[in-house]
Amino acid sequence: MLRNHITLIGNIGKNAQITNFENGKKIARFNLAINKKFKNNSGLEKTEVEWHNIFAWGNMANFIEEYAEKGKRVAVHGKLVNRNYLDKNGSKKQITEIELKNIIGL
């Protein structure tokens, strides 16, 4: 049974940010830009960009660190994860991210 699966195709927005933890674990974070083309009310073609935050653990983080680079077109497959955090002002925020399970370069 498939639940909570997402696949997106887009371009990596910037090189991955890698964090190594004391316990030996590693996380890679990057964002993915997806261009949406549409015609506005005047009939002019417009493009909007949707940004998605992606993260990966372990071997997938190692792969991202080695091969993922800004501008590369990729297909990502993973699951949606919601998490709460405190911003720099101490306000509680919620964010939805994608935990990467597979990535394919296009």
Condensed to tens digits (0 to 9), the pLDDT of residues 41-86 reads 999 999 999 999 999 999 999 999 999 999 999 999 999 999 999 9
What phi, psi does 68 have (nearest 5°)?
-80, 130
Distance CA 39, CA 73 (A): 24
Please state, for a pLDDT cut of 70, what percent of the chain lies above it: 97
Class of the domain covering 6-105: mainly beta
Averaged pLDDT of the chain: 94
- In tens, the pLDDT along 6-48 reads 999 999 999 999 999 999 999 999 999 999 999 999 999 999 9
Pairing assessment for the beta strands 45-57 and 26-39 based on DSSP bridges: antiparallel
Domains of the chain: which residue ranges?
6-105
